Structure 1
């Protein structure tokens, strides 16, 4: 027996309408609709055609139902208004990644959720409270992805075809999830991670993730979390030159535009100086990218340790994909494209009473900040 909903999930994952799938498979739309609604069972040959067109193994369609992730529970950080097809595809991909999390959770003891419940503080105060709870002080954060994972957030990558979605987050059975686009600049990726942390802390189950006000709050949280007010005031001059901003952004590994906005928000730039700086930065390419930026983007420490630990046991990415009933390519798109190298060795801790080894995630160092007053000679 096949599971009808899995045909619909696979179709949505590939951005296909029923008419488009019909064109690819030469199966009539009414029949496809019956397959998805469970009103008719496709023949084995028809199922093979569907599996080939959708790039999923046959076994995928024989697995149990997967309860979907509702769009109301997700915050999408997108470059423009998101089309329904892209939204559904992203939600489906994230649901599959949740299954990978379940697979990992059955084999390893993962860091517990340590996101605070803060009530309804303003974003600036919330950022300070999270920093205090996590013992970060006002030091720069060396790696946002590692920081989130060390405090119980499960971080996965978005498949590359979701170019218009920067990031999104949601809660699932008490576990926070964040999905990041790997095609943006490293600095944008850090801000997106902090933005989604803001949604998880400020909104979650009690307040809506969606809407302009929620986005504004998450942006303000990310800005304050990455660039603490006292640190920015101490290490940046008022109304700085463009070259001072470009030099200063490396202190916090943020985009030049993000630092400019933060300075203006803190009252350290006049309106005129802010507008003029944005124009000059745009002319130098800082709206489209991040010249003189970070050399590489941040990736997952947890997933890397899991994959290496499994590889040491003779279990490769293809074996994991087979257990999850997806292709290796599909699985790789959720795990930041991590590639197994020649190094082996189980990076997990020793076995626990329940038989699952405990993953040791090293929080990013924040005790030796490199902040200095920015000067241009």
Structure 2
């Protein structure tokens, strides 16, 4: 837990030694289980890493980026230090979410079934089956995060301090799946990323890593949000103007609509590249800064769990800080916000 807290804070052992005043040798021995920490050293290390001293004694299992439970995008372009920081932040969030859920019973009207790609089903067929399983009407899938949370997932938004990773999803055995979205995503890009992560959860969770996992999750997301049977005719003669006309209705980036047209064979790869070049010239492809954005879908389960503990279970702010292993009440703001009506949590 000390190593996890340190990495989540973006610190090396040397950095932590300088910040905390505890020797690097003592930190190394503590992280490797070779020496116990004194109460004074534990307090200093906890303060330096932004957690409570009690969190350093948690015994939760830590899952890393190399396991089948962790899915991430564009990691090859990030340093190991940056990856470890994000991994640490997501892992701590998963642990804290589990503690928030303790004592609460979730009634999930939907579910996230597993689709076995080795059985011959394609990612697109899996998306079609999930839409049918969720009883989605024709047209855009409204409230994608609502659907994910109604299926038992926990969704959160956090600042990854980089635009190179859009999201990370993790599904520990016996726990709710967790999807953590990069705070910097535009509303339209966020919807596609959520669909992509759902694809990972229903296609790849619990199976050995697949070389084409990212492409498979993209193909799943395209069919989930842009069903071929409904969209194909609308893509004939596609240009940038038409892509932006379709964007507000389907609630995905215009760039995704162009790629969908290419993948469906409605336009050629050459035409797709030409349209992307034009969008790039207009500045629309820089970190997903397209025009005609719409209201962002916001997660609510974490906020609702905090609300129930505070308002109905009468937990004080300090109680919540203690449960979550936070260093100060200010950090509780990351877990609070507006909640939606209709969430099915039985307490």
Q: TM-score, normalised by structure 1?
A: 0.81
Q: Which residue of 2 aligns with 1:365?
A: none
Q: Which residue of 1 aligns with 2:86?
A: 90
Describe the superposition over 1:202-247 as per-residue Cα deviations: whole angstroms up to 9, x where unpaired: 1111242x64x1111111111111101112124x241223111111
Q: Which residue of 1 aligns with 2:146?
A: 146
Shift of 1:307: 3.1
Describe the superposition over 1:40-90 as per-residue Cα deviations: whole angstroms up to 9, x where unpaired: 2333333332222112222322x3322101322211123753332233222
Shift of 1:265: 0.9
- Change beyond 3 A, Cα 1:95–1:79: closer
Equivalent residue in structure 2 for 1:259, among 239, 245, 257: 257
Shift of 1:163: 4.3
Q: Which residue of 1 aligns with 2:135?
A: 135
Q: Which runs of 5+ in 1 are unaligned?
A: 1-5, 350-356, 360-377
CA contact (8 A) 1:10 1:54 kept: yes
Describe the superposition over 1:154-177 as per-residue Cα deviations: whole angstroms up to 9, x where unpaired: 222234435432111122114322
- Change beyond 3 A, Cα 1:129–1:340: closer
Cα distance in 2 for partners of 1:231, 1:224 equals: 10
CA contact (8 A) 2:101 2:305 kept: no
Q: Which residue of 2 aligns with 1:275?
A: 273
Q: TM-score, normalised by structure 2?
A: 0.87
Cα distance in 1 for partners of 2:105, 2:279 equals: 46
Q: Which residue of 2 aligns with 1:226?
A: 225
Shift of 1:315: 3.6
- The answer to whether residue 168 in structure 2 is matched with residue 168 in structure 1 is yes
Cα distance in 2 for partners of 1:177, 1:286 equals: 30
Cα distance in 2 for partners of 1:317, 1:189 equals: 31
- Change beyond 3 A, Cα 1:230–1:32: same
CA contact (8 A) 1:307 1:340 kept: no
Q: Which moved more, 1:66-75 or 1:33-42?
A: 33-42
- Change beyond 3 A, Cα 1:228–1:340: closer
- Change beyond 3 A, Cα 1:241–1:318: farther
> CA RMSD, aligned part only?
2.6
Cα distance in 2 for partners of 1:340, 1:322 equals: 22
Q: Which residue of 2 aligns with 1:64?
A: 58
Paired residues for 1:327-366 under 5 Å? 327=327, 328-333=329-334, 335=335, 338-339=336-337, 358=346
Q: Which residue of 1 aligns with 2:40?
A: 45
CA contact (8 A) 1:245 1:260 kept: yes
Per the alignment, in what secondary structure is the counterpart of residue 157 of structure 2? strand
Paired residues for 1:148-297 under 5 Å? 148-161=148-161, 163-174=163-174, 175-208=176-209, 211=211, 213-234=212-233, 236-288=234-286, 289-297=288-296
Q: Which residue of 1 aligns with 2:299?
A: 300
CA contact (8 A) 1:153 1:177 kept: yes
Describe the superposition over 1:127-161 as per-residue Cα deviations: whole angstroms up to 9, x where unpaired: 11111111114321222211101111222223443
Q: Which moved more, 1:69-78 or 1:84-93?
A: 84-93
- Change beyond 3 A, Cα 1:269–1:52: same
Cα distance in 2 for partners of 1:317, 1:261 equals: 48
CA contact (8 A) 2:262 2:269 kept: yes
Q: Which runs of 5+ in 2 are unaligned?
A: none
CA contact (8 A) 1:187 1:293 kept: no
Describe the superposition over 1:312-352 as per-residue Cα deviations: whole angstroms up to 9, x where unpaired: 3344665322222213455544x4xx4369xxx99766xxx
Aligned length: 337
Per the alignment, in what secondary structure is the counterpart of residue 292 of structure 1? coil
- Change beyond 3 A, Cα 1:270–1:37: closer
CA contact (8 A) 1:308 1:346 kept: no
